[in-house]
Amino acid sequence: MARARARNLLALLAGLLLAGGCSSPVAAQNRPVAAHPAPPVAVLIAPVRAPPPAVVGAAAAAPSAPVSRLWPFKRLYDVDYVDVRAIAERFDLKASWVVSGRIMQLADARGRVRLRFEVRDRDFLIDGIRVFMGETTVFSQGSLFVGRADVIKTIVPLLEPAEYAGRLPAPPRLIVLDAGHGGADPGTRNLALHLDEKNLTLDVVLRLKKLLEGRGYRVILTRSDDSKLAPVQRTDLERRDEVANQAKADLFLSVHFNSALPTVTGTETYVMTPQTEISTGEARDESVDKAFPGNRHDLANIVLGYHLHRSVVTGLNSVDRGCKRARLSVLRLPDCPAALVEAAYLSNFAEASRLATPEFRQRVAQALADGIDAYSAALAALHPPLPRPAEIQPAPASSRLHP
């Protein structure tokens, strides 16, 4: 999971040159490079990026965790960090070095690896799926440390969602599906294959709607034809969120296809960046401290994004480019859990060729439907249905109170 420190500006430029495309903002961060040499045990490894101001203050982070479950932390580089071994202890996992001083994994009693962290990385693996954090993993005093806010807002909701059972919603019933782009906005284009993203997203969303309705969900579309919701781009994006808010949706999903260098392949999933956290592939900016409506659902967002991402990566046998964080327009304003999935790359000829077939687009829709089902099942486990009256048995006669 080691990553090059310098960003590949050529990858970003190539993505932007593709007309109207959904270019990946973190393409350079996703390419594997040679492994870092293991640092001496006594050395403190700093984050790759320049140290920001305090990202998470004690007063800001504490309300995100149940009062009885606050995390011990230490201050490193003006950020609160939690020892990975403390996560292992809290959840009865065994911490061990894969590479001393560099890679640590946490396994359960059966030996199944649940978590894997690597120094200098902003991503980690949970049950084999790549998820991005706000802070870089650092090495200190013989252990690895991850950001306290990342523990609270990312790691714990995925590892043990029951910790937040009272703050996670019931399973969704009404879902709003958003086919990215439309009308005069074609999105990413593969001119060689005569493919426009706007047409592919609509086709997948129509297939997904049918699958979800067959499974008992109610579904609303932001668009059902080749049109935009408004001529101005910003207004168009905001109106997609308005569709979900006016319908009082339980879930909002925007479907897209990506662009980058022609050699780049895989699946990316985005959910809203928590307040005070840094988005994937970006530096601290003026929006970091702002709270958006989407931040009311930080816990549910990451659970939703993870299950969607896992399902699409496994369902399409795709390269795992990570479940990431971004303050995208369609993620900032929905008053419900929301995610944006970049299922494949139109800029890659092989992936675009597959997307040109109805069979592959059906696989994309199937994987998204399965991801929504997995998210629903995770929430249902936290909110078991109340027994029906016929299932409530009277107490034994000997235990009844008599006048």
Q: Is the dihedral of CA 154, 158, 164, 167 positive or negative?
A: positive
Contact call for residues 156 and 299 (beta carbons, < 8 A): no
pLDDT exceeds cutoff 50 at 172: yes
Confidence label for 61 from pLDDT (cuts 50, 70 and 90): very low
Amino acid at 290: K
Phi, psi of 115 (to 5 degrees): -135, 150
Structure confidence by residue, pLDDT tens digits, 210-222 = 999 999 999 999 9
User: Which bin fits 66, alpha (ψ -120 to 50), beta or left (φ > 0)?
Assistant: beta
- Which residues have a Cβ under 8 Å from the Cβ of 232 and sit 6 or more positions away? none
Strand (E) positions, 84-157? 94-99, 103-107, 113-118, 123-126, 129-132, 138-140, 143-147
CA atoms of 358 and 361, how far apart (whole Å):
5
Kindly tell me the burial class for residue 183, based on how many C-beta atoms sit within 10 Å of its own C-beta (0-12, 13-18, 19 or more).
middle
pLDDT exceeds cutoff 70 at 2: no
Structure confidence by residue, pLDDT tens digits, 264-293 = 999 999 999 999 999 998 877 778 999 999
- Which residues have a Cβ under 8 Å from the Cβ of 332 and sit 6 or more positions away? 241, 272, 292, 293, 294
Structure confidence by residue, pLDDT tens digits, 389-402 = 665 455 555 444 34
Kindly tell me the burial class for residue 286, based on how many C-beta atoms sit within 10 Å of its own C-beta (0-12, 13-18, 19 or more).
exposed
Structural domains of the chain ordered from first start: 36-159 (3.30.457.10), 167-382 (3.40.630.40)
Mean pLDDT for the chain?
Answer: 85
When pLDDT is averaged across residues 345-365 and rounded to a whole number, the result is 98
What whole-number percentage of the chain has pLDDT above 90?
75
DSSP 8-state symbol, 271: E
pLDDT exceeds cutoff 70 at 40: no
Nearest to 20 by CA among 334, 353, 347, 355: 347
CA atoms of 348 and 351, how far apart (whole Å):
6
pLDDT of residue 69: 59
Strand (E) positions, 260-337? 267-272, 320-326
Phi, psi of 387 (to 5 degrees): -65, 145
Look at 10 and 381; give whichever has higher pLDDT: 381
